[in-house]
Amino acid sequence: MRRLLTALLCLSPLALPAHDGMPMAMPKGPELGASAAFDAHGRLWLVDAADGHVRLRHSDDLGKTLSAPVEVNAVAEPIYAEGENRPKIAFGPHGELYVSWSQPRAKPWTGFVRFARSLDGGEHFSTPLTVHHDRAEITHRFDALAVDGKGRIVIAWIDKRDMEAAHAGGKPYLGAAVYYSASTDAGASFLPERKLLDQSCECCRIALAPTPQGDVAAFFRSIYGDNIRDHAYAVLHADGQPSQPARATFSQWRIAGCPHHGPGLAIGADGTRHAVWYEAKGQPTIWYGQLDPGHPPRHALAIAHAGAAHADVAVLGKTVWVAWNQVDAQGYALMLRESADGGRRFGDARQIARSEAAAGSPQLLLLRQRAFVAWNTAGGFRLVPVEAAP
């Protein structure tokens, strides 16, 4: 019963199994799972998926207009493209464009983590490769992509190889595991994957953020005890050093399934780890706090309650922003709270945009001392400045 509940909570339309031996149908039209990023020159790049292709577009006018799309994968394939499991984009130190995504396989809730790169400014992409060396048709999905301070690519994902092995041996195993790999040759190849830890949540996105030391840090929902779905923090070393995950939230929320709400992470120049996460113990709540791995977060604050979902966080100096979707009877509101003192206190919540149509998860971006929210809606992509009025 527990496994059935978990499966239902994690169900995604793109994860439906094939019927009568027929291949899985390709998605029709764009999904709302999208990722955006500014490059070193201030150009905005956007990746999403449509008709079996990850597509790349750019904007030189802060999202008002977008270029014609470039297909990252020339050969169409199934692509997960919803809020928790969407295509990702990152940049190398010499203008390289890196894109990752999760590819559904024929069995339900399975996937491969895929990667492609462009070395000519997004005009052409390499043939996609599968990041992990393990090729079992199991869950390898919910990929997260980042580049460390030495230009090495780090990709982390949720992986069920250890769960499959445990169940095959008649042993219990809650959730999944987090694995990661790195590329030291600008994405031409990836090192054999390494397990970060067992008992992660099955389908909550992994948040990655650069550290002041030039590493990549991960913040993700894990499982403690009997299905307590709190979060862990770890630094993912691309040079082979062991990573040491530590529990980082202590809400004690017990749920026998994945809530499909991953966290957000932003690390300040001073090393402060600003985080947002979701729980529904008592009432649905988005929390903000400053991570102190092994201990409860400092300056914990309930940012929003019922109807709030899929928050993100950004920091610039002493200013911290938290953005999230707020669902009501009229549609979706894009909400924001801001702190001017490093996250000790936050101003009141305010609405900066609305959409009557469905909306994807918001993503906070920084450009030249300004903050924006990338918001992909069924009515179109929007880049919303944090000072915007509805």
- pLDDT tens figures, 145-198: 999 999 999 999 999 999 999 999 999 999 999 999 999 999 999 999 999 999
Q: What domains sit in the chain, N to C, each tagged with a CATH number? A: 1-249 (2.120.10.10), 263-390 (2.115.10.20)
Q: Which residue has the tokens 């999905």?
A: 141
Cα 357 from Cα 348, distance rounded (Å): 25
Q: Give the tens place of pLDDT for each residue, 51-75.
A: 999 999 999 999 999 999 999 999 9
Q: Say which residues have a Cβ less than 8 Å from residue 278's Cβ, sequence separation at least 6.
A: 259, 261, 263, 284, 285, 286, 287, 309, 310, 311
**The residue count for the chain:** 390
The per-residue pLDDT for 240 is 87
Q: What are phi and psi of 240, to 5 degrees?
A: 95, -10
CA–CA dist 199, 255 (Å, integer): 14
**Separation of alpha carbons 352 and 49, rounded Å:** 26
Point out the residues of the chain with pLDDT beneath 70: 1-30
The predicted pLDDT at position 30 comes to 58
Residue with tokens 């899985």: 24
Distances, alpha carbon 262 to alpha carbons 198, 231, 275, in Å? 17, 9, 11
pLDDT recorded at residue 388: 84
| Bridge pairing between strands 264-267 and 273-279 | antiparallel
For 166, the 3-state DSSP assignment is helix
CA neighbours closer than 13 Å in the CB half-sphere of residue 43: 16
- What whole-number distance in Å separates Cα of residue 64 and Cα of residue 330? 25
The enclosing H or E element of 6 equals helix 2-9
**Rounded to an integer, what distance in angstroms lies between the CA atom of residue 94 and that of residue 48?**
23
